[in-house]
Amino acid sequence: MNELGSPLETFREEARELLEQLEQHLMQLEEDPADHDSIDGAFRALHTIKGSGNMFDLDDLVGFTHIVEAVFVRVRDGKLPVSRELIDLSLQARDHISLLLTATESGTLDTEVAERSRLLSVAFEEYLDAETSAVSGGVAGKQNSEAPKDSEHESEGECTYRIEFTPAADSFLTGANPLLILNELAELGTILKIGYCEAIPDLKEIEPEYCYLRWVILLTTDQGENAVRDVFIFVEGSAEIKIDVIDEADPLIGESGYKRLGEILVDRGEINPKDLESAVSSKSYIGELLVKKGFVSEEQINSALQEQNYVRDIRENRRTVETSTTIKVKVEKLDELVNLVGEFVTMHAGIAMVAERKNDQDFRAAAEQMEGLIRQVRDLSIELHMVPVEILFSGYRRLVRDLSEDLSKQVQLKLEGTETELDKNVIDSLKDPLLHIIRNSIDHGIESPEVRTKKGKPPTGTLRLSAYYSGASVVIQVVDDGAGMDVERIRQKGIERGVIDSSDRYSEQDILQLIFAPGFSTNEEATNVSGRGVGMDVVRRNIEAIGGSIRIQTEKDVGTTLSIRIPLTLAIVDGLLSRIGDSLYLINLSYIVECLDLKDVRTAGNGGDMIDFRGEIVPFLDLRRYFGVEGAAAEHPQLVVVAIEEKKIGLVVDALLDKYQSVIKSLGKIYERVEGISGAIILGDGKPALMLDVDRLVKVTRDEVKK
């Protein structure tokens, strides 16, 4: 067993990341078999794993990966098509490479894993033989056999090509359009197009249907020379085409400059070396002198200058990218950084209190300056913790694909808002809840192709994962266009289980929330996918554990939407500090709607347990009574109106103190089940304050009202 941080352990971590990338490229290829970027990405992932594994003498891993890589070499070169069978085999190979990677930890290869390597290797070889025979037997095979050998620069890395393109004068008459060719070249990479007009005759001599232009095109691409030549396949017999490599991504080349102006002109064949030598002997600017002597035109000089600047910029950009560094940091270290920042915030609060008490202007100024610096460090530490939800969403492509096959359904997964960022710890906490929701959406929600066709729906169902910002929260939605939930059936199941009674005081949302009750399921029989009533209970508990909430919207035969609202980060929270008796409590600012003096609010309801809040009857909770705080009530109690989505309640406290920002600390296992409390903070003077679980308090209060 290697120690954490050893080169072999680093390889394993990077290999697992590459396997995740490989899976995403394969899933993309299944949707778009002609996606060259995904083909190249899959090949690079396999090639890197094989090459790095070879450094550690991992022969079993390297040998198997080489077989898979060989297939993708042929796919990349256009000699094998991307088929469903290839994707299936490649996904199996991806999973098997993961097993081989795990085997490197023990140092021994299990007999079953070794046999699996052999069977998959045979499957790839048989597929390769079958596809090669099919291709070689058709027209495509003839074209491949007659095609020139791979260019020296084919897919060997990024190259810059100089392409001299002179269409035939009568090219317009044959239906050719040079602009379409230039646009197609632009799709291959970064391009600079330089047009020449010197062949255009006087107006009276112009033939309107003739082409008098020519171009020098500078193209930077990693597609290879064959891909560049393929663009000219329909005009290569009539047009003059010259393609030269003028710059390559060579790690040994450190300079960011390029050839001199005269060297470029000689390289292009626009001036001979002797004429250049005679011009260089003068002290005048080389460009001006060459034009003055008639060796080249001003147009040719401008074109050479553009080439010089273009290649210099490409080299400079490449050098900048190569010299930039990325450091991988373990999440535990980032967590520790956030905790330390939290301690700094607490310490600063104490310093600010001392400065205020001493009324020392210099001390207060230093404390304010320190606050600004701590705020910057805090923001940076939070940003380091944030990752795009694409990391979370893309991992479900394979799940949807495999479940669809297992259940004989056709499901298309769509991802939206993947650039939305969330705390890494929140992302990790959402993996299991979303997995259960997606499994239920496909199993319960989306119908079979036959049923969907009878309902007038397309046979392929759609499952959409989306994310968007909403204030200090992020909302993640799982939307399916399936059968929808049967609210009446859920209600009857709830009555049977004794979770609710048969009265009509429950809203549709209350009934839908029953699916999160432990052991609740509407399935008569359990399957290997769902029906045991444990998954959705886990969903709610995990989401509430990170301060989130979940809401359901459904419509029969239209579909179901599950919306999960979670905080942007679990690290540092902005709150409103309040007092009840001698105890202090923090209320998350993102939930607060308004703060009022309780005496200014009109109460309603039979027991005076409701308030009239701007025309809306809202229940309120006296936290002094709820937490059993002894002593006399405050003379001027304050009311804090909080809301979770559209559900509002009022929280009554003795006094409101000030806004406060801190890292929330766990209370430990002894207090983890205390209703209404989700954590604690340490104030600047060393006193503790409890963090109110607003989501839970809203639910408890509204449930009491229904009773």
What is the domain range of residue 378? 332-387
Asked whether the predicted pLDDT for residue 526 surpasses 60, the reply is no
Residue 13, domain member (yes or no): yes
Which range of 27-41, 42-56, 333-347, 672-686 scores highest in mean pLDDT? It is 27-41
Both 535 and 562 in one domain: the answer is: yes
Q: Which of 368, 387, 406 is the last residue before a domain boundary? A: 387
Both 493 and 532 in a single domain? yes
Residue that is last in its domain, among 503, 532, 567: 567
The confidence score (pLDDT) of residue 403 equals: 92
pLDDT value of residue 257: 56
Does 151 map to a domain?
no
Tell me the range of 307-321, 445-459, 543-557 where mean pLDDT is highest: 445-459
Q: What pLDDT is stored for residue 92 in this prediction?
A: 93
153 belongs to a structural domain: no
Neighbour count for residue 461 (Cβ, 10 Å): 24
Burial state string for 130-168 with b = 16 or more CB within 10 A and e = fewer than 16: ebeeebeeeeeeeebeeeeeebebbbeebbbbbbbbbbb
On the question of pLDDT at 180 being above 80, the answer is: yes
**Are residue 164 and residue 142 in the same domain, yes or no?**
no
Using the predicted structure, report yes or no on whether residue 539 has a pLDDT greater than 70: yes
Please report, for the domain that includes residue 663, its CATH number: 2.30.30.40
One domain for residues 337 and 383? yes
Distances (CA, A) of 181 to 188, 198, 678: 11, 21, 63
Residue 529 located in a structural domain: yes
Mean local confidence (pLDDT), 585-598: 88
**Exposed/middle/buried for 496, CB within 10 Å: 0-12, 13-18, 19+?**
exposed
Residue 223 lies in a domain: yes
257 and 336 part of one domain: no
Q: Where are the beta strands (DSSP E) in 18-173?
A: 159-166
Same domain for 342 and 291:
no
Q: Report yes or no on 382 lying in a domain.
A: yes
Mean pLDDT of 291-316: 78
H helix runs in 77-107, sequence order = 84-106
Q: What is the pLDDT of residues 83-116, one digit of tens each?
A: 889 999 999 999 999 999 888 887 777 888 888 8
pLDDT band at 336 (very low <50, low <70, confident <90, very high): confident
Q: Which residue has the higher pLDDT, 234 or 155?
A: 234
Judge if 93 and 191 occupy the same domain: no
Residues 400 and 313 reside in one and the same domain: no
Residues 135 and 141: their CA atoms lie apart, in Å, by: 5
- Model pLDDT, residue 559: 92
Rounded to whole angstroms, the Cα distance separating 647 from 630 reads 29
Banded model confidence at residue 253, pLDDT cuts 50, 70, 90: very low
Higher-pLDDT residue of 489, 264: 489
Which range among 18-22, 27-31, 526-530 shows the weakest confidence by mean pLDDT? 526-530
Residue 673 has pLDDT above 70, yes or no: no
Whether the pTM exceeds 0.75: the reply is no
Distances (CA, A) of 266 to 196, 261, 300, 301, 582: 18, 9, 11, 12, 88
How many CB atoms sit inside 10 A of residue 685's CB?
A: 10
pLDDT in tens, 390-439: 989 988 999 999 999 999 999 999 999 999 988 888 888 898 899 999 99
Residues 341 and 402 in one domain: no
- How confident is the model at residue 154, as a pLDDT? 46
The residue with greater pLDDT, 254 or 222, is 222
- Domain of residue 471, CATH code: 3.30.565.10
The share of the chain scoring above pLDDT 70, in percent, equals 85
Q: For 293-423, where are the alpha helices, taking DSSP H only?
A: 298-323, 331-358, 361-385, 390-393, 397-406
Residue 309 confidence class, pLDDT cut points 50, 70, 90 = confident
| The pLDDT of residue 375 | 82
Phi, psi (5° rounding) for residue 646? -95, 0
**In 10 A of CB 446, how many CB atoms?**
28
Instruction: Judge if 105 and 217 occupy the same domain.
Output: no
Residue 5: the pLDDT is: 56
Final residue in a domain of this structure, among 503, 536, 567: 567
Instruction: Calculate mean pLDDT across residues 250-256.
Output: 47
- Where does the pLDDT of residue 507 fall: very low under 50, low under 70, confident under 90, or very high at 90 and above? confident
The pLDDT, as a whole number, for residue 95 is: 92
Q: Flag whether pLDDT at 272 surpasses 80.
A: no
Tell me the mean pLDDT in the region 226-233: 84
Whole-number mean pLDDT of the chain? 81
3-state secondary structure of 467: strand
360-390 residue pLDDT tens = 888 888 888 888 888 888 888 888 888 899 9
Check residue 608 and give its pLDDT. 60
How many Å apart are CA 7 and CA 11, to the nearest integer?
6
Please give the share of the chain, as a percent, with pLDDT higher than 90. 15
Task: Tell me, yes or no, whether 272 lies in a domain.
Answer: yes
Q: Are 507 and 597 in the same domain? A: no
Total domains present in the chain: 5
Residues 500 and 595 in one domain: no
- CATH number for position 13: 1.20.120.160
Q: Is the confidence at residue 460, as pLDDT, over 90?
A: yes
pLDDT score recorded for residue 561: 93
* Contact (Cβ atoms closer than 8 angstroms) between residue 681 and residue 663: yes
Res 142: pLDDT: 38
Identify the pLDDT of residue 147.
38
